[in-house]
Structure 1
């Protein structure tokens, strides 16, 4: 029995599309499975868990679609402004970031907002959850990179960067992370919180995806996909995927090879077979034309895996991020192993709680 895989794509036309994959030796087909037209503005972000699909939009709402019951599950109303980023952690939690500078932690059990953090002075442009589920990274238009302890919902450390970053992402093993600024990718070592190397793309970068712990797929304002080895800073593979710029890239594993999925402004979603050992020119497995201007992409695969839940402590008020810069973790040290995350505070001033911000009803 072939595994269940669906391609989920958001569009400028306010619609989220779902396509069920059917695989064969000759050609893969993507059959329309559902359309979710719950937004009143363009879809800006999409994320999937083993049961739910979450879409964020410029209409200030997060819409939830239940893949088990195949029904619209409702809307989450807490952000003011565009929802810029969404990410699930296992089946239990969803994190969202928005134009209002908030980072919100949601429980998928009752869909309540467990924590609302004033993460950035400007927009939260991207977020990424550590594989342990106990730390999260955010970047924003205030030119800062921030690390959050998800156990208590507080800032672990803050690093000033020279420009506004658009993407941040942990590696699969959680030993490093990457930050995208315009056309280059800075690779950070977790132990030192310093840049170890930089990859430069010919065009502005719109999306990235780790295919392995040291292999990174990069797409942007041209028609090509570039696959980098971040250890050697060399391009392992480069191929033309679409007729116009590629908006988003994702991937999943099938048998002994990697499937790279790309979405473009030309309306097409394409599936490419890529061997991560030889990096031979990829083979186009199949494609589907949504006839819409696509903005974002995610893969849905139902799974029985149960990650350890985020144990965030709830508070009645919105927390304000400490604006003090802490280069190279001078104030707080973060030590991560496969099983635990330890935050060791050195002498640092106490943070002031913001009790004047009225929390919006969810």
Structure 2
């Protein structure tokens, strides 16, 4: 597996982490594609994408270890990125837009004016049919991704800066400063609230009912969503924690943390002993001010997860495909029916990719 983290110093780091006695972490690559600090990172089974204050989304092919290109649809800092499966990416930014990307051709299928202010966070339902977003207009919005339209708007008393679905899709949480509100999907009402002393910087569902919370301090806390009680807390870093990532691999439940102290750490959590402090498996000092984190899993370790999601993903794709084609016609074309540059700005990383694009353009012009 590969630990990938962005930082203020405009670099994406990649570290290969291998299980063993002890675990080993070795530098694998650095990606210098941005001209400003990195603000978001997301992974699927092939790509890592990064968002930045330079208003661009950079694509990195993890299998080939090469730059793949850039997406330049947004105006403003990229605030959030999330893949759904292997075919779609959602991005949000300070321009108030949410963009839906096809990751096969890297086309913008839909550009939605989601919020009057900035989009601060978004989260895709496990079914792929719904998404939630929050912004600086004090609203929480539900999106029907099958039809590409707004489904519901809820007014909030304050601006939320994080939103997240639970793995089973039956609940979701919003974060407002130092407070986590837990919502039930079927009623869209708050069932509980968790409050900590510091501003919350990152949250992650460990299970459907256990939430990991990192604030602007060195502590990670595990909370029960049902009782809203703290199950465990421990000092993970020497400075504030910026991001948390969690996943299962070979029977272990692993948590990865990134901090302003420059360290990325991998922890082993025993879900049967959730009140015990996780054991530290390995750590690496990036010597940078980290801002965001993700973990890329190789195809072998992805296989199990993909098999478990086959039934729901297949059904969701069957439901979405007709609508995706329709959205491509509306959003990816101009009035004359031709693809517009504004909706498909890609900067190829390799010069040899430029020739086919130019030939295609000449062919289109000649057909006019």
TM-score (norm 2): 0.84
Could you tell me which residue of structure 1 aligns to residue 8 of structure 2?
A: 12
Q: Give 2:92's match in structure 1, choosing from 94, 97, 103.
A: 97
Answer 1 or 2: which has greater strand percent. Answer: 1
Is 1:150 aligned with 2:145?
yes
Give the equivalent residue in structure 2 for 1:323. none
- In the TM superposition, what is the alpha-carbon distance from 1:254 to its structure 2 partner? 2.9
Counterpart CA distance in 2 for 1:283 and 1:144 is: 39
The whole-number CA distance in structure 2 between the counterparts of 1:15 and 1:171 is 30
Determine which of 342, 350, 354 is the counterpart of 1:360: 342
1:284 matched to 2:266: no
TM-score normalised by length of structure 1:
0.85
The alpha-carbon deviation at position 24 of structure 1 amounts to 1.1
Residue pairs, 1:1-362, within 5 angstroms: 5-25=1-21, 27-279=22-274, 280-302=276-298, 303-304=302-303, 305=306, 307-308=313-314, 309=317, 310-311=320-321, 312=324, 313-314=326-327, 316=330, 360-361=342-343, 362=345
Is the 1:125–1:165 contact (alpha carbons within 8 Å) kept by the matching residues of 2? yes
8 Å CA contact 1:100–1:123 kept in 2: the answer is yes
Shift of 1:257: 3.1
Q: Indicate the SS of the match to 2:34.
A: coil
Q: Which runs of 5+ in 2 are unaligned?
A: 333-339, 346-368
Report which stretch shifted further, 255-264 or 268-277.
255-264
Question: Aligned-residue CA RMSD in angstroms?
Answer: 1.5
Q: CA deviation at 1:102?
A: 0.2
1:276 offset after TM fit, Å?
1.3
Unaligned runs of 5+ in 1: 319-357
**Distance of aligned partners of 1:287 and 1:172 in 2 relative to their CA distance in 1, 3 Å threshold:** same
**What is the CA distance between 1:359 and its match in structure 2?**
8.9
Partners of 1:257 and 1:276 within 8 A in 2: no
Q: Give the deviation of 1:30 after TM superposition.
A: 1.4
Provide the rounded CA distance (Å) in 2 between the counterparts of 1:248 and 1:174: 22
SS in 2 for 1:137: strand
Q: Deviations over 1:126-177 (max 9, x none)?
A: 0000000010000000000000000111001000000010100000000010
- Matched residues, number: 318
Distance 2:196 2:134 in 1: 20
Q: What's the CA shift for 1:360?
A: 3.2
Q: Does the CA-based 8 Å contact 1:317-1:359 persist in structure 2?
A: no
Alpha-carbon offset, residue 317 of structure 1: 5.3
Q: Distance in 2 between matches of 1:278 and 1:185?
A: 24
